[in-house]
Structure 1
Amino acid sequence: MQFIATFSLMQFLDTVISLGAAFILGTLIGAERQYRQRTAGLRTNVLVAVGSAAFADLATRIGFPSDAMRVVANIITGVGFLGAGVIMKEGLNVRGLNTAATLWCSAAVGSCTGTDMIAEALLLTFIIIAGNTLLRPLAAAIDRIPLNERYSEVSYELRLTCDGRLVEQTRNALIEALEAADYPVSDVTEDRSYSEEGCALVARLVSTSVDPDELDEVVNKLKRQPGVTYVTWESSTQD
């Protein structure tokens, strides 16, 4: 019986403490995520923390310190793929980055407990929860500050609708007007489902530093183009 020959009560108790600590700390982190109805909630954070702790504990028991470091490095990579699963892109906006980062931190907590660094895991758990709760009012306050389009790192789109028979003419006028204002165009997409006789054009700008007044001038210029019925521009923050 290989199990009896290799079993050590002290090592077993050490594993129980490591995995138990990972379970408790993962629960604390996950409870906050679950309360806010995030994609990765209580169970996911617990499993990530306990799984990371189990792998780190296994490497510590049967290998050398260098083996434990290699296992932790692979945990980081593996959880990175897991975090990618909770990131969702909606148009120009990205959701789930904070949840993915929290999963990554849960793996760090588990790795600490698995290598018997429980005090460090406690400190890290406190910092994670504080970052997700105490910093929320500050983030909300910053979000309420009016956006300065000229200096903020944002994406810009100029949208117009025109007569479907004048699409090529309008597209050329759109690109020329933007380049004349020193705003090179990344690409122009066309949507003919807008109406039976009309067409929508969307131009995405390369520049991240934009003067709103200059874009307004471009809009006013395009409004005077034959066949153009509507022109506007909008910005969205990059994640």
Structure 2
Amino acid sequence: MADPGLIFGLSLRIFVAMVLGAAIGMERQWRLRTAGIRTNALVSVGACLFVFMGAVGLGENPGADPTRVAAQVVSGIGFLGAGVILRDGFNIRGLTTAATLWCAAAIGSLAGAGMEVMALIGCAAIIATNTLLRPLGRFINGRQRHAGALLQADDEDEPAEYVLEVVTTDKSEPRVRALVLQAVDRPEYTLRSLDIRPGRSSQTKVLAGVSAQHAGDTAGLEVAVQRIGLDPKVTSSRWWPAETDD
């Protein structure tokens, strides 16, 4: 029979891996990325369980090397990360999300190895990298756009990302979601994501990530905001340019 103390300790490590993985995924899901809370939490817990198998299961064999399991987790998570990397014309999307999944596996491995403190520090570093370094990236991109101002006319032909937000009540969410889908169903737009988030005072936010073929194709969004805003169940509607990094 397994030692109850060992089972409790391993269960605690799984819980730490799940919580830290979910914290990493929360930032990704908030930015409407493909791998969100559940995906990062599952990656972290899965890596933790694989480390258990190497440290506890294979540890019963004196000739086994538990570190080989962790090494296979590092390489194997690359297949999952490749699934979120997409090529959109000359642009590559999803690299940051794929790297975040890889880091979530590292956090789970640390938690599974009993290094909870290092897992917590690593989780904080990953979230800080995806949030605090974002303004620096925008600043550098802004300098590059300023240096290439002579090519501004050509930039208008490149695709652009936008977010359409509609606030409604919880009961009217299915109806408003259908209105949003109908509004973005236009030849110049491609629906990238649709997210439903709880708001305040029994309200719900419907967020649609839209890709436009050209940077100046915003007239359809203006029309969509005006038409959706006429619905009596809609509290507010707006759109804004999405962040171009992944």
TM-score clears 0.5: yes
Specify the alignment match of 1:34 in structure 2.
29
SS state of the match for residue 65, structure 2? helix
Which residue identity is paired with 1:62? G
Question: For the pair shown, which has the larger CA radius of gyration, 1 or 2?
Answer: 1
Q: How does 1:61-80 map to 2 (within 5 A)?
A: 61-64=56-59, 67-80=65-78
Describe the superposition over 1:120-147 as per-residue Cα deviations: whole angstroms up to 9, x where unpaired: 1001000000000001111111110135
Q: Could you tell which deviates more after superposition, 62-71 or 49-58?
A: 62-71
Specify the alignment match of 2:90 in structure 1.
92
Specify the alignment match of 1:108 in structure 2.
106
TM-score (norm 1): 0.58
1:60 matched to 2:58? The reply is: no
1:106 shift after superposition: 0.1
Specify the alignment match of 2:155 in structure 1.
none
Structure 1 residue runs of 4 or more that deviate by more than 3 Å after TM superposition: none
Name structure 2 gaps, 5 residues minimum: 149-245
Which residue identity is paired with 2:95? L
Which residue identity is paired with 1:117? M
Specify the alignment match of 1:145 in structure 2.
143
Describe the superposition over 1:200-225 as per-residue Cα deviations: whole angstroms up to 9, x where unpaired: xxxxxxxxxxxxxxxxxxxxxxxxxx
d(CA) in 2 for partners of 1:138, 1:45: 25
Specify the alignment match of 1:154 in structure 2.
none
1:101 shift after superposition: 0.1
d(CA) in 2 for partners of 1:68, 1:120: 19
1:78 shift after superposition: 1.4
SS state of the match for residue 94, structure 1? strand
Answer yes or no: is the 8 Å Cα contact 1:18–1:57 preserved in 2: no
d(CA) in 1 for partners of 2:87, 2:99: 16
Q: How does 1:120-199 map to 2 (within 5 A)?
A: 120-146=118-144
Which residue identity is paired with 2:7? F
1:67 shift after superposition: 2.6
1:108 shift after superposition: 0.0
SS state of the match for residue 143, structure 2? coil
d(CA) in 2 for partners of 1:58, 1:20: 17
1:90 shift after superposition: 1.1
Specify the alignment match of 1:14 in structure 2.
9
Correspondence for 1:25 among 20, 23, 31: 20
Answer yes or no: is the 8 Å Cα contact 1:88–1:96 preserved in 2: yes
Q: How does 1:221-236 map to 2 (within 5 A)?
A: none
d(CA) in 1 for partners of 2:115, 2:66: 13
Describe the superposition over 1:168-224 as per-residue Cα deviations: whole angstroms up to 9, x where unpaired: xxxxxxxxxxxxxxxxxxxxxxxxxxxxxxxxxxxxxxxxxxxxxxxxxxxxxxxxx
Describe the superposition over 1:141-160 as per-residue Cα deviations: whole angstroms up to 9, x where unpaired: 111013567xxxxxxxxxxx
d(CA) in 2 for partners of 1:99, 1:56: 23
Q: What is the identity percentage for the equivalent residue pairs of Structure 1 and Structure 2?
A: 46
Which residue identity is paired with 2:35? A
Number of matched pairs: 145
1:11 shift after superposition: 1.1
1:68 shift after superposition: 2.3
